[in-house]
Structure 1
Amino acid sequence: MKKFLLILFLLFFTLSFIFPMMLYKWYTSRIEPPQNKVPASLVVEYSDGTPLYTPKTVWIDFEDIPNLVKDSIVASEDKRFYQHSGVDLIGIARSFFVILTTDSIQGGSTITQQLARTLYLTTERTWKRKIKEALIALWLEQNYSKNEILELYINFVYLGNGVYGFPAAAKYYFNKTLEQLKPVEVAMLTATLRSPEHANPLEELNADFTKTVLRKMMNEGVITNAEYENALETLSSEHARNVNIAGNMFDQDLFWMVVVELKELGFELGDLRNGFRVRTTIDKNMQTLLNKNIDKTKMAGLIIEHTTGRIRAAYGLGITSGRRQVGSVIKPMYYYLAFMGGWNKNDILEDKPITIGTWSPQNFDKEFWQEVTLENALIYSRNVPSVNLFMALGQSKVKNFLKNTLMVDGYYPNDATLALGTLETSLVDVAKGFEPIFNGGIVIRPRIIEYVKDRNGVIYYSYKPEILNVVKPPKDFEARTPVEASVLTMQLMEKVVTMGTGKSANIPGRKIYGKTGTAEKNAWFVGGDGKYLFLLVKDGKDLTGGRDVAPVWREIAKNTEIGYIPISLPVSKKMPSTEKKQVEEETVLQPLSPVDEESISIPDESISQTTEKADTEEDIFNRVRSKSITSDELLNVLKTMDSDKQREVLSRINEIDPDLASQVYTKLLGGGEF
């Protein structure tokens, strides 16, 4: 009998003490530190570092958490928090009793257990999970102080709508910091713990749970009777139910532009949610201007730096992938080609009725001027003369120039209506078509991401201009360089704004270059200066770019620096001419901003001996192919050349090594040499 009792005692001792200890040691030996389990979120920022949208996980140190928040949580969720060792036996007994009498799983989890569930487990309501939860809770209590556990809980507990932690929830639901919350708002967040998706402050069920929390807060002395009564009155009022989440709203289209570009750069969104920080190129002030002045259901706007490709603001539909007919904003793109081909501003174009196949193009005013100069044809956006120019250049050549030189993607019609902008494309692609006109011949890929860092500050991607193409005059269009053609085109676009169809965009005291566009279902204005391109489009019928879009463009632009930054396109003082088309005296170009032409012909003394030996362009290109020349050496070589030659050489380098070309181009921009 004694032997039996001894065996029974040893069995009881093993089951009661040794086995649980072994289970605890075995299970907890594999637990990661809670800091590694933080449900962090991808942070997206404006160019100045401020949040583009509120991240859904925000950390606040324990000493900075208001006592009202701490005490409310303890009073409501676990009033014996500072007495138990992670598992509340009284709570477990109550839970066990409910299970036996109702066949349902009842809560009874301590704050520590809830933290264990949030960081390590699922929400399945089973005894297996309860055992794991208890083991992890005991481990947390063994390794962290009560204040550290409460700090982790307040920062990481789930509060609905993808929001983790009270600091982020305060911002998300009330647009406030924790310090700014009133007792009723703290109670509303605490009540959310009961059912985060169904009882958060945006749901009606929250009110009933909040009353329970407020009563517990009063009973535990967290708030006074007067504060309790006042909170109940506030809760029942319409004002308290109007939860302010306006400060958390963000432009989803803009956010997904970031996501798409991240994927293009090789990032997976799921990985980036682990605390990565994405700094965008978006200027907060410019973005705010677009947000406030544009109805995104009817309009879309894009502001971009044409020398770097940085997108500074984007709002509305169809920024990167939409398709709208571009109307007459297409005209400067092939006028640019015409100037490279030797056409002059004073050349005469016919403005008489014509028919091409079954199509008879009309001017907007339904009138014909008989003859018009090329200059006035663009300034006043005359359709018929522009079609005549388009046909003289060659339909296939213009189409090829737009697609393969200016890199404008989209749906192209297979007829001459292309001359009047039946091309359907996105705002980003229209911007690509204008970039080389404004910067002298470089097509840069528009980008919205400045850099990507992980939570430790390690940089995974950093922006640099990506050259898509360097404009080279097509065969039979080599009378002028791209830079010279840019200056001529810009001179006309300046007059579009000062005296032509774009007068409504004119801002006194500023120099703006622009073009209107009108299509069947939308209207455009594209304008810019020495740094920015600002594209604005409005959808609808019976619209015109000059009447319906240019005034809105002006109201937005006048609150920016657009128009103050001069164009700087240095060209030779003596323009080339051809036998077919003699350049008129008034079209001989001077630099739009002063350039010391002698200085660009003097070799830089810092050129290395190795570079000096590469005394022919072919030597340079061979060294690029063999990767035996650095970007700094190339930079020094390019500094000895004028602007046109720089673009010519850079074009060849870009064909051989696009990455090296981007590095050199970035350095040229940084030094103001380009």
Structure 2
Amino acid sequence: MSGKRRAAGPAVTKKQTPSAQGSGKEKSSGRSRWKKVGIAVLVLGLLGSLLGVGAFIVLYQTIDVPRPNEEFETQTSFVYYADGKQQLGQFAKQNRESINLEEMPDSVKDAVVAAEDRTFWTNRGIDPKGIVRAAFSNARGNDTQGASTITQQYVKILYLTQERTLTRKVKEAIISLKLQREQSKEQILEGYLNTIYFGRGAYGVQAAAKAYFDKDAADLDLKESVVIASLLNDPNDLDPSNGKRSKKDLKSRYAAVLNDMAEEGTVSADQADKAAKKLPKFPEIEQDSQYGQQRGHVLTMVRKELLDLGYTDEQIDGGGLRVTTTFTEKAMNAAVQGVVEARPDGFSDKQLHIGVATVEPGTGAIRGMFGGQDYLDSQLNWAVAGGQAGSTMKAAALVAAIEQGFGLEDTFEGNSPLELPDGNLVENQGDEDWGSAIDMITATEHSVNTAFIDMTLSMDDGPDAIIDAANRMGIPPSKAPKKGPGFPSTSPGLEPITGVSLGNATVSPINMANAYATLANDGVAAEPYIIEKVVLANGETDYQHKVDDSKAIEEDVTSDVSYALQKNVQEGSGTAALELDWPSAGKTGTATNGDGEVSSAWFAGYTRQLSTAVMYVRGKGNEQLQGWLPSYFGGAYPAETWTAVMQRAMEGLPVEEFPEPAMLDGDAPTEGHEPYTPPPSPTRTQQPSTPKPSTPKPSESPTPTPTEEPTKTNTPPGQTNCPPLNPSCDETPTATDTTTAAGGGGGGGGGNSAYVGDLAVGRVPVLLAVAAFREWWIL
């Protein structure tokens, strides 16, 4: 039989166990499942990556570098004294002064990079490794670390906000990447160091150097540079002025930065070890308020003037302007110290207001000013607000009268009261009589109201003529159609009334000082100003003041007016100013308001180099001084204050004399004001001579009776009946303390006896010579 051979023994059938039956299939199925999961994860990861990359690309294309935040583009505008170097104040949204990278020392740049972003010079605006490192450190509970590069910090400050959101972080990263492609590393570092906040209100390294070390950034040494860099970690808590804890924390941070610099190789290990031993010295930095004391009054004036010149608030506050003013530190201090020295004690700044202004003749430059109380307590500047001018306006009346042909020797009614054409009465201070024919010099010396009213009425259109003279001198009109010269550009109440010379109009000390400066400058008037130059942030000079002057009054007229005003200081109501011990001229003023109350007290005066006006007022500027101040006359506290101010302001200047008076005597518009003509001197007859030499004894002849003799009514102490320029008059006056309100001033002295005396002394040598000749002839 053919076929396969079967093995011996029974056939055995093998059955598989259940586990054995399914094991292969399950292994295969498991591997397949994990494979699918892995593939899915990879696919999803790839899709996510693709989506992320796509989204990033879209965001990169759609997010542009925005315009910088406005406040971080600003620069501080600085205001300087007249020397252009000493800082007077500043205007700023943020205290910032941008400088070039080349002006920053390497030690500052190296310290900031070491402290804030050691990969700055090599990264692309962001630091992925730093982000991962900071994430793991923060997850382990260590001190919170930031992963922002210098570029990211710069972007966040300059372009974005401080909000902590994922959206802002994404924008920050994208803009950082873009910025580092558009700008060089040097440009980014320069921008960062001019923008970042260092504490003490200082933005940028230049402001920080001044805030902490009172020097420019270019002058910082290694230790100071490291402190500046260390502050960036926490500007407020690391400020050493905040106490021992802050100083200790600063020193720890300071040492860490030095160590990082050593590791980076920007300083040697020895330099780092040596510097780390001790923090640098921090000078005392004055922390006075920007607008405290008089600074606020000055800065407010400067801002207003810049606006009038066409600059905008944005330019002033953030344009980085460099503004040189006319103010000098010397004259400003003189005004402040002079007020402190002379003002009466025990009077509150809230009630007693003093305004002072010093103007330079010939230029109109305002050199010094005192606006009143601390600006932080009151923003009202009394050097600008002013008050009723009182008899300081009589200088303008003198100008107008002499221009119309009157002379200093011409006489006017000095008795009181004087009845006006309308029936009203004008009185002198104390209703005092000075005689029916007193000359202009005596009237000026003693501020005789009736004489000046008579003078006004005797001129052609007297009130208008006086106002015209005042305007030409520098006192603005009552109203102005547009902004004109002056601080302010109007003088309310300067109207053509009979009593205009008594000073009812409101005039500011600045404008009054400028008007008197015209007299000091031989009649050449200049518009007052406070801004000398404006330089833009790029160094370009944008504005340069040009002196605006004009011939306002003839020189001979001003020489006569100045002579009369010198006599007021020498012998009249302004004798307190003699303490200056300098050739000076001036006028007192004491004004009354509509209620008859003494509302202001003044002294305005000048040397050849400086003109200063001082005003005292109370409360709202028109309240009663009489019975409130110990003395309310202009010749008292105002004249004493003027002297104290000018003693300091004039220190070191050469002595300059005033020109001799021209003694003009033209054709006056009215008669009856001729100089007083004294009666003839007694004639002396010579006795017949004898052979022996002897001095003949003259016999007196009767004194002729004058046909018209000036009225001598109640001649006050110190007033002489000697007419001016009369050598034969030997009457000697005595000093008095007579003052004139309602436009008058304080202090007093005799008429014009000094001038008479000088001429009388000059006759002595001549008489001696004549006598000697007669003796020789007789012999």
Which bracket does the TM-score occupy, shorter chain normalised?
A: 0.5 to 0.7
User: How do 1:210-229 residues align onto structure 2 when only pairs under 5 Å count?
Assistant: 211-221=248-258
Q: Using structure 2 for the length normalisation, give the TM-score.
A: 0.59
C-alpha distance 199-510 of structure 1, shift in aligned 2 (>3 A): same
Which is helix-richer, 1 or 2? Answer: 1
1:307 Cα offset (Å) = 3.2
- SS of residue matched to 1:301: strand
1:567 Cα offset (Å) = 6.1
- Note if 1:277 corresponds to 2:318: no
- Note if 1:303 corresponds to 2:358: yes
User: How do 1:85-484 residues align onto structure 2 when only pairs under 5 Å count?
Assistant: 85-89=124-128, 92=131, 108-142=147-181, 149-159=188-198, 163-172=202-211, 175-178=214-217, 193=232, 204=242, 211-221=248-258, 243-245=285-287, 251-272=295-316, 273-295=318-340, 299-317=354-372, 318=381, 321-354=384-417, 361-363=427-429, 367-371=432-436, 372-390=438-456, 392-393=458-459, 396-397=463-464, 400-401=467-468, 406-408=475-477, 409-412=490-493, 418-439=500-521, 443-466=525-548, 482-484=554-556
Query: Is the Cα–Cα contact under 8 Å of residues 190 and 213 in structure 1 kept in the other structure?
Result: no
- SS of residue matched to 1:53: strand
Aligned partner (choices 649, 654, 667) of residue 577 of structure 1: 667
1:327 Cα offset (Å) = 2.7
Amino acid at match of 2:666: P
Q: 2:656 maps to what in 1?
A: 564
Whole-angstrom CA distance in 2 between matches of 1:179 and 1:100: 41
Amino acid at match of 1:376: T
Whole-angstrom CA distance in 1 between matches of 2:102 and 2:327: 35
Whole-angstrom CA distance in 2 between matches of 1:241 and 1:556: 30
Amino acid at match of 1:110: T
C-alpha distance 164-120 of structure 1, shift in aligned 2 (>3 A): same
1:529 Cα offset (Å) = 4.1
- SS of residue matched to 2:603: strand
User: Could you report, residue by residue, the CA deviation over 1:52-97 in whole angstroms, capped at 9, with x for unpaired residues?
Assistant: 3366433455566457655664565456656654334466568879
1:42 Cα offset (Å) = 1.9
Amino acid at match of 1:527: G
- SS of residue matched to 1:244: coil
Whole-angstrom CA distance in 2 between matches of 1:454 and 1:311: 23
Query: Is the Cα–Cα contact under 8 Å of residues 189 and 200 in structure 1 kept in the other structure?
Result: no
User: How do 1:528-539 residues align onto structure 2 when only pairs under 5 Å count?
Assistant: 528-530=606-608, 532-539=610-617
Whole-angstrom CA distance in 1 between matches of 2:207 and 2:401: 57
Query: Is the Cα–Cα contact under 8 Å of residues 42 and 276 in structure 1 kept in the other structure?
Result: yes
Query: Is the Cα–Cα contact under 8 Å of residues 187 and 214 in structure 1 kept in the other structure?
Result: no
Whole-angstrom CA distance in 1 between matches of 2:632 and 2:602: 9
Query: Is the Cα–Cα contact under 8 Å of residues 523 and 549 in structure 1 kept in the other structure?
Result: no
Amino acid at match of 1:213: L
Query: Is the Cα–Cα contact under 8 Å of residues 290 and 296 in structure 2 kept in the other structure?
Result: no
Q: Which has the larger radius of gyration?
A: 2
Give structure 2 stretches of 5+ with no counterpart: 1-35, 260-270, 344-348, 373-380, 478-489, 592-597, 619-628, 678-779
Query: Is the Cα–Cα contact under 8 Å of residues 79 and 322 in structure 2 kept in the other structure?
Result: yes
Q: 2:565 maps to what in 1?
A: 493
Query: Is the Cα–Cα contact under 8 Å of residues 528 and 563 in structure 1 kept in the other structure?
Result: no
1:378 Cα offset (Å) = 1.0
User: How do 1:637-656 residues align onto structure 2 when only pairs under 5 Å count?
Assistant: none
- Note if 1:552 corresponds to 2:611: no
1:500 Cα offset (Å) = 3.2
Give structure 1 stretches of 5+ with no counterpart: 235-239, 472-480, 587-674
- SS of residue matched to 2:413: strand
- SS of residue matched to 2:203: coil
- SS of residue matched to 2:79: strand
User: Could you report, residue by residue, the CA deviation over 1:226-259 in whole angstroms, capped at 9, with x for unpaired residues?
Assistant: 9778659x9xxxxx79653369888222122121
User: Could you report, residue by residue, the CA deviation over 1:298-354 in whole angstroms, capped at 9, with x for unpaired residues?
Assistant: 544323234333323334243663132323222111221122222221222333331
Amino acid at match of 1:488: D
User: Could you report, residue by residue, the CA deviation over 1:172-223 in whole angstroms, capped at 9, with x for unpaired residues?
Assistant: 4553445777999878866764676x6695985x875554332122234459
Whole-angstrom CA distance in 1 between matches of 2:641 and 2:559: 25
Whole-angstrom CA distance in 2 between matches of 1:71 and 1:301: 52
Q: 1:44 maps to what in 2?
A: 79
Q: 2:685 maps to what in 1?
A: none
Whole-angstrom CA distance in 2 between matches of 1:292 and 1:110: 53
Aligned partner (choices 524, 530, 554) of residue 602 of structure 2: 524
User: Could you report, residue by residue, the CA deviation over 1:468-494 in whole angstroms, capped at 9, with x for unpaired residues?
Assistant: x875xxxxxxxxx75443232122122
C-alpha distance 117-527 of structure 1, shift in aligned 2 (>3 A): farther
Whole-angstrom CA distance in 2 between matches of 1:35 and 1:497: 58
C-alpha distance 515-400 of structure 1, shift in aligned 2 (>3 A): closer
Query: Is the Cα–Cα contact under 8 Å of residues 172 and 245 in structure 1 kept in the other structure?
Result: no
Identity among equivalent positions (%) equals 25
Amino acid at match of 2:154: L
Whole-angstrom CA distance in 1 between matches of 2:609 and 2:119: 64
1:375 Cα offset (Å) = 0.7
Whole-angstrom CA distance in 2 between matches of 1:155 and 1:293: 42
Whole-angstrom CA distance in 2 between matches of 1:172 and 1:315: 28
Q: For this pair of structures, how many residues does the alignment match?
A: 562
Whole-angstrom CA distance in 1 between matches of 2:48 and 2:535: 55
C-alpha distance 54-320 of structure 1, shift in aligned 2 (>3 A): closer
Amino acid at match of 2:323: V
Amino acid at match of 2:560: L
Whole-angstrom CA distance in 2 between matches of 1:435 and 1:516: 16
Amino acid at match of 2:80: E
1:28 Cα offset (Å) = 4.9
- Note if 1:502 corresponds to 2:574: yes
Q: Which moved more, 1:262-271 or 1:274-283?
A: 274-283
Whole-angstrom CA distance in 2 between matches of 1:65 and 1:169: 12
Q: Using structure 1 for the length normalisation, give the TM-score.
A: 0.67
Bigger RCO of structures 1 and 2 (CA < 8 A, at least 6 apart): 2
1:445 Cα offset (Å) = 2.9
Amino acid at match of 2:656: Y
User: Could you report, residue by residue, the CA deviation over 1:604-634 in whole angstroms, capped at 9, with x for unpaired residues?
Assistant: xxxxxxxxxxxxxxxxxxxxxxxxxxxxxxx
1:508 Cα offset (Å) = 7.8
C-alpha distance 43-302 of structure 1, shift in aligned 2 (>3 A): same
1:413 Cα offset (Å) = 7.8
- SS of residue matched to 1:381: coil
1:142 Cα offset (Å) = 4.3
Whole-angstrom CA distance in 1 between matches of 2:138 and 2:206: 35
Amino acid at match of 1:45: Y
Query: Is the Cα–Cα contact under 8 Å of residues 602 and 616 in structure 2 kept in the other structure?
Result: yes
RMSD: 4.9
Whole-angstrom CA distance in 2 between matches of 1:557 and 1:220: 51
Amino acid at match of 2:563: Q
